[in-house]
Each structure stands twice: as structure tokens, then as C-alpha cells.
Amino acid sequence: MKNPLLENFQTPFKTAPFNEIKEEDFLPAFQELIKDSEKEINDIVANPAEPTFENVIEALAFSGEKLDVVSNIFFNLNSAETNDEIQKIAQEVSPLLTEFSAKVSQNQKLFGKIKKVFDEKEKYHLNEEQEMLLNETYKGFVRSGALLNDEDKEKFKNISIELSKKSLQFGQNVLAETNSYFKQLTDEKDLAGIPEAILQQYREEAKERGLEGFVVTLQYPSYLPFMTYAENRGLRKELALANGKKGFQNNEFDNQNLIKEIISLKQEKAQLLGYKSYADYVLEERMAKSPEKVHDFLHELLIKAKPFAEKEIAELKSLAKADGIEDIQSYDHAFYAEKLRKQKFDLNDEELKPYFQLEKVQEAVFGLAHTLFGLEFVEVQDIQKYHPEVKTYLVKEESGSGKEKGSLKAILYVDYFPRKGKRAGAWMTSFKSQFKKNGENSRPHISVVCNFSKPTADTPSLLTFQEVTTLFHEFGHALHGILADTTYPNLSGTSVKWDFVELPSQFLENYCYEPEFLKTFAKHYQTGEVLPDEKIHKISDSKNFMEGYQTLRQLGFGILDMAYHSHPEKVDDIKTFEANETKATNLYPSNPETVMSTSFSHIFQGGYSAGYYSYKWAEVLDADAFQYFRENGIFNPEIAAKYKTLLSSGGTKDPMELYKAFRGSEPKVESLLKRAFSI
């Protein structure tokens, strides 16, 4: 039997042949492709010619191309369309990939050639991108243990393998806990306050499960509306406890010991390389450079934001007191915040949702990409998908001249609705990177994955305003990939310093609050009526609603992340550690039954270890960047062209240099404070 993953893809634009792939194809494909990639490495090592930039650094950058594609296909499925078998394969495959990566990075002969080219780089007259590739390659090997002795190399490799297994297990436990809980309700009195559209969603969920009445789950499109609108405080508490207990129930899916094991392994890895902590190791390769700078940044924002947050919570307490609640809790926050928002701005998510039909919001974000960057999106049916709900688009360069005009920029997959096999949240990823080789500019295959409310029998998918900003956020990341224009795949698109990667996503969110732009797409799905000016201006005015609370919440996550990765030796009891580290940012009493850390997938499964601060760091960048547009016109073509250059450059230059070339100066934290708190 042929394995489609090992063949040349006979599909349009060599896209993933999802219809032909079987789960049992993955493990043998990985085994074979790892062998092929090892041969490519061995060929570089065995080459008798004098080591050069081309036959070592460039050859290495283009090696393992097929392995990368298959890895992307598999791990994207494990996030968006997983099952028990895929999760089992992931546990087998991850150690194989980690071991292969360790073998490459610790290959002394290969590193010897890299070091020779690095030491003699002046003689190669490299351009800026080539020099960046050389420097990043050399540093990558050093940071992966190339300078360690044989015994420590073996330790480093084994630590990396263990980390890959434990990180995967963490995410699988969170998914299992999310999927295992649901609340069936048969008495409509228990659902008082919940809008009809959400009730219909709960009915559909019950119907899918073969149950009577209504079903609420911990998937965010189900959970969040319940917490926002349900008048039944007891049920809000029950749902919040279920959500807050994920990975914290002393059962087979408990993540407490896994956290300790993960941070201990990371610390050991960092110390093997001579770093004080894993945070020091990570931040050496970030814009922030050091834990001290991150600490100062987070605490400066904390001091400035906390008075605003406390004032906001005081307003919510007053509302709750009027309802006879003296002890407002975290599970009351969304409910009373929505009440206050309605009181202040007369805005209600359910009243706004009919104006934000998913298809129209997508058209708007596509239209914005056309206005700013000359991109055109054409839906196609001949690209294979991993699930029937996925839609596929050709992204073309409509602007430009000559060969560029009408040329393919990317393939885009969009996957918008929650499923049992899909993890929570929203993300952008890729199935294939952009690069230039043999005279061809090979274009990327980009994917945007979200968890929005599904359409019902008589209603299309309607988004809350927060979901509108989520779509713009992920599409900002997608544009970073779509516009990529670099030679080497490992410097392409989102392959930038981690605290720079959120700039494009958070930047694009700003447009959601601009009245001029909102009017172009905020239209009632039944009547076509444009959202009234009064509501549009209230959306714009409400941009900073609960900004103090949200800032402290993000700062709490960032401070906790840095604490885990700076002082793992202090972690004994997870609940106690979390409570101590987040004390300054907590605005509500802590519940002894819940903890956030055990479902903090960003840092224990994803790539945000010692990097969660980057969301706030990037907010400084995006506030400063959008201020530049606002001063000169939010669709200004000259500034858009400069911003397009920043996006297309990927990781070919130092991010601060890219930013200064775009803006003319370094970003100012005052831009964020001015936007958030008018100070």
C-alpha cells in the first residue's frame, strides 16, 4: 500500500491530501521521513568540499522540507481534529522528532562545519538575510547543546524528549477535562436571562447528545454566554468551578505533578547550558532580553493599571450590592460587567450579534487586507479539507505589476466552529512555510482556527463583538504568514522573536473600533440595516471598558509564567504558589477548589513559556503602530506599504530595526497608556 504522506502530493498547489490520509499512515511516514532527513544531514557532513555558506548553512535551512510538512499536517490535526488514536500516535511521534532534533543539534561534525563558516563569515560577503540565517543557525546549535560534553548532550536530549511527552500529556488532559463535563438543564427557569439565540444553541447541543432540554458545556461559545447572562448565581458558580477545576481534580487527568515535572525539566535544561533559569535562557532570544526587564515592564504596568482596575471592580460591587450580593466573586464578574456595560453604553452582546454575521465579518477582514495590501480572496472547492466545515481560499496579489499582479500569495484554510476533537481557543498556524528555492517563490499554506457559535437551523453564525476582535486578531497573524517574502523557511512569516509575533495580530484588532470601518460591515443579517451610529460610537467609546481588569488579568498570567520559569524550586503546592504569585493582580477572592495553572496551556503545552508577557509587550507595539496610522489616516497607502514590508520581512532582521524602519522611532509605552487609560 502506498503511503500518501510519502508521495509527492498530486493536489492543487501541493496542498495536504486530507482525503487520502489514514491515521495509520502517520507513524511509518514519520519514521521514513526522519531517515530521509538524517541522510540529508549526513550528506552535508560527508561533503568533502570546503565548508561554505551554501553547502552547510543554506543546505541545512532547506533540509527536512517534507518532514516539516507532514509534522505540520499531523500536529495541526492533533489540535483541530483529534481523537484517541491521533493522541496515541502523538505520544509515539513526539519523542522521535525530539530525538532526531537533538541528534542534529548535537552532531559535532555538523556543528564544526557551521562554526567554521560562522568564524569566517566576513569572507562570504553575505547579505542581511544570509547573515541573520548564519547567526541564528549558530546560536540555535549552541542553545541546543552543541558545546556540551557527551554526557551532558545525552542528558539534554533525554530532557527534551521527556518535555515533549509531558507537554503533550498536559494538553490532552485539559482537552479531556473540557470534553468530559456538561450540564443538562430541563427547567427553563434555570436559564433566565439567557438570550433566545444562545438557548437555541443549548437546545442543539442537547439534541446532538440525544438529551432533553438544554446542554451547557465548557467550550467557550457555550460557557461564556452562560456566565455573562445567566441570572441563576448558583449555576454560574457550578459552571465556574467545573471550568476552574480542569486538571485539578486528583484524577487521571490531573496536571499538578506534570507542571512540577515540566518546570523542573526546563530548569535542568537551562542550567546544563549555563543559564541561571529557563526564563534567562528563553529571554536571551527575545526583544526583552532578560527576566529583570520583563519584571520591570510588568510591574510598571501593574502600578499604573491597578487603580483603574480597582475602580472598575468597585462599580461592579455596587451593582451586585443592589441585588443583595455582599460578597461578589469571580463567577459574578462577566454577569455584572455585562450589566455595567449595558448601563454605561447601552450595549448588549446579544443585541449586537445580529449585526455581526460571521460571513460578513470575514468579508470585512478580507476587504481590509485588500485595502491595505492589495490582496484578493477567492473561495475554491478543489482543495482537500480535514473536516467538512473547513473552507479554503486562494489569496492573490491583486495590486502590483508584471508577474506579481494576480499571482498566488497563499492558500488559506478557515475552521470556525467547536467540535469534540478541537481544542478550545483560537489560533493561526501553517501547513507549509513560504521560501524561495531554485528560482521559485514557494507560497505558504495558512490556517485560521476558531471556536465560534455554530449556525442553527434558522440562524447563521452570529458573533459577539469579542469574537469579532478574535477573528481580526488571528487574521493579523495570518497576514504575517500570507505576506511572507523571505528566502529561507526558518526566517519566514511568523518566525520572528516571540515578543514581536503578537504585533500583527493585536494591530489588526484596532480597526474593529474605528467607526469609519465598522459601518462597512456591521449590518443586520436579516434587514441589511447598518448598525446605528449611536451604537457604533458606543462600541468605539467602550474599547477601554474594563481595560484595568483585563490588564491586571493579563499581567497576572505574565507574572505567574515568569515565576514558574524563574523559580521552579519554590513550587511545592500549585495552588499556594499560584495564589502567592498573583496576589497583587487578584481582584476577587480565590476559591480553594479551583486553580488556573493546571489548564494554562499557553505555557505548559504551547510556546509561551517565559513569554506570556509578550501579549502586553506587543500591545505597546500595536498601540504605537496604530497611532501612526491614526495620525495619517487609517487606510494611508504609504504607511500601509511600509507596514507590509515589516510583515513580509519575517525574521530576516532584528525586530526593533524592522519597527524603527516602519515607524521612524522606537515604540513608546505612553502610546499604550494613552489608549488604555487616557494618561
Query: Which of 467, 474, 502, 514 does the annotation list as catalytic?
Result: 474
Q: How sure is the predictor about 403, in pLDDT bands with cuts at 50, 70 and 90?
A: low
The CATH number of the domain holding residue 641 is: 1.10.1370.40
Residue type, 416: Y
Answer yes or no: 474 catalytic: yes
Alpha-carbon distance 397 to 376, whole Å?
6
Does residue 108 sit in the same domain as residue 212? no
Same structural domain for residues 500 and 622? yes
Position 400 pLDDT exceeds 80: no
**Is there a single domain that holds both residue 477 and residue 361?**
yes
Residues 636 and 527 reside in one and the same domain: yes
In a domain, 644, yes or no: yes
Residues 12-64 have pLDDT tens digits of: 999 999 999 999 999 999 999 999 999 999 999 999 999 999 999 999 999 99
Note whether 66 and 190 are same-domain residues: no
492 and 387 in one domain? yes
Query: Are 222 and 85 within one domain?
Result: no
Rounded to two decimals, what is the model's pTM? 0.83
* 155/271 Cα distance (integer angstroms): 12
Residue 47: CATH number of its domain? 1.20.1050.40
190 and 128 inside one domain: no
The residues, any chain, with a CB within 8 Å of residue 273's CB and separated by 6 or more, are 143, 145, 148, 156, 281
Instruction: Check whether residue 202 and residue 62 sit in a common domain.
Output: no
Residues 400 and 534 in one domain: yes
Mean pLDDT taken over the chain: 94
Identify the band that residue 303 occupies on the pLDDT scale cut at 50, 70 and 90: very high
Domain boundary among 244, 263, 285: 244
Q: Is residue 383 part of a domain?
A: yes
Residues 538 and 403 in one domain: yes
Q: Is residue 643 part of a domain?
A: yes
Segment 169-194 mean pLDDT: 96
* H helix or E strand, kind and range, residue 655: helix 655-663
Cell 506587543 sits on residue: 618
pLDDT digits (tens, 9 = 90+) for 89-121: 999 999 999 899 989 988 999 999 999 999 999
Last residue of a domain, one of 223, 244, 265: 244
* Among the listed residues 99, 101, 91, 104, the one whose alpha carbon sits nearest the alpha carbon of residue 27: 91
Domain-located, residue 348: no
Q: Report yes or no on 367 lying in a domain.
A: yes
pLDDT(402) > 60: no
Domain holding 69, by residue range, is: 12-147
**Is 334 domain-assigned?**
no
Indicate the residue among 198, 228, 244 that finishes a domain.
Answer: 244
Residues 199 and 126 in one domain: no
When divided into structural domains, the chain yields a total of 3
Question: Whose grid coordinates read 490582496?
Answer: 375
Classify residue 276: in a domain, yes or no: no
DSSP tag of 288: S
3-state helix, strand, coil in the chain (%, to 5): 60, 10, 30
CB count, 10 Å around CB of 143?
A: 18
327 within a domain of the structure (yes/no): no
CA–chain centroid gap for 212, Å, is: 36
